[in-house]
Amino acid sequence: MKAGVIGCLNSNNIGDYIQTLAVIKLIGKDYKILDRESLNSYNDEPRKVIINGWFMENPLNFPPSSNIKPLFISFHINPDIASDFLNSNTVSYLKEHQPIGCRDTFTQELLEKHSIKTFFSSCVTLTLNKTDYISPVYKKNSTLIIGAFDRLKPYIEKNKGLYKRLVTSIKIPYKFMNYKTKNLIFSKWLRKQSFEVNFANQIVEKKISSHEEGLKLAEEVLIKIANSDYIITSRIHSALPAVAMGKKVIFINEGLDNINHRSRLSGLQSFFKSIKLKEIRILNFETIKITQNHMVYSKKIEKIINDFLKK
């Protein structure tokens, strides 16, 4: 049976395709990318599909088609749709394919409340290999900044109710000033450092319209990460690939009060150094200590996926 991997059309987050690319690197050739939001309508030949990442925009498009034989690993449930997603059909389906490898402890605890067997798998991006992206002209002592304060950017969620949108709009001027002030403090700190500074974005303005485009954008970000020594970010799927490549990672833990942000981070904080902006003045990259070795998890992910595909 041929393999399938998950893609995320119409996403504006390159991190979705960094996860896709990580799975592709593990399974090799002969795969097809299936869109996350339409797995229920897949009607092609039967495939073994690695189901990982953030699920999902539309909970009514789940469970997947019977032509999909799933392996759930690095799986995350969007808190906004959790109650609708975990209906009787989905719970029965997940029990049929348990244990479910969860990307975070939030998802793990959520599923266990429904008596679904789980394990904490961490993220597939921890399996990425630096040698696949390193440049022969790699410069030492450079720092890459990827959306350090993305979570502080004020915006109004269009899918929320009128009252919540009104409350959010009232808070926007304060949030904007907070965002600008912290960026200014951070910029001043950067100018005092001796290392070369480069920038990249994980979020794109125009939504990704094809899997090919998504993979290309993901590779471009991974090349920048591989060819830097230090990474400063507020993006999990920039931080974790950097950890996998042996980089020193500083995770800016600002603006992560919303359950959607906290849930994705739960269980993953031990892989990198997480700080508030006020701590950056005493930051020393050389003394960073990580409490959890990612290799235990990355090797387990590789084995689980290889065993699944060989059956």
What CATH number should be reported for the domain holding residue 259? Answer: 3.40.50
- 218 and 271, same domain (yes or no): yes
Q: Which residue has the higher pLDDT, 114 or 153?
A: 114
Give the whole-angstrom CA distance, residue 145 versus residue 230.
9
Residue 229 is predicted with a pLDDT of 94
The verdict on whether omega for the bond into residue 63 sits within 30 degrees of 0, i.e. cis, is yes
Q: Per-residue pLDDT tens for 103-132? A: 999 999 999 999 999 999 999 999 999 999
- 271 and 161, same domain (yes or no): yes
- Confidence band (pLDDT; 50, 70, 90) for 163? low
- 68 and 54, same domain (yes or no): yes
96, 95, 113, 100: which is closest to 55 by C-alpha? 100
pLDDT, mean of residues 185-203: 94
Q: How far is CA 212 from the centre of its chain?
A: 19
106, 113, 4, 91: which is closest to 52 by C-alpha? 4
- 191 and 289, same domain (yes or no): yes
- 187 and 260, same domain (yes or no): yes
- 118 and 16, same domain (yes or no): yes
Residue 155 is predicted with a pLDDT of 61
User: The tokens 């049929």 sit on which residue?
Assistant: 96
- 144 and 227, same domain (yes or no): yes
Q: DSSP letter at 13?
A: B
- 136 and 243, same domain (yes or no): yes
Helix (H) or strand (E) holding 3: strand 2-7
- 142 and 279, same domain (yes or no): yes
- 277 and 301, same domain (yes or no): no
Report the range of poorest mean pLDDT among 66-70, 114-118, 155-159, 174-178. Answer: 155-159
Residue 121 is predicted with a pLDDT of 98
| 130 close to 25: Cβ distance less than 8 angstroms | no
84, 48, 280, 291: which is closest to 187 by C-alpha? 280
pLDDT, mean of residues 6-16: 97
Domain housing 111:
2-128+297-310
pLDDT, mean of residues 242-266: 92
Give the whole-angstrom CA distance, residue 237 versus residue 74.
12
Length of the chain: 311
Quickly list DSSP for 171-220: HHHHHHHHHHHHHHHHHHHHHT-SSEEEEE-SB-SSPP-SHHHHHHHHHH
Residue 39 is predicted with a pLDDT of 98
- 289 and 206, same domain (yes or no): yes
Number of domains in the chain: 2
Instruction: State the number of CA atoms in the 13 A half-sphere of 223 facing the CB.
Output: 9
Query: What 3-state class would DSSP assign to 4?
Result: strand
- 80 and 178, same domain (yes or no): no
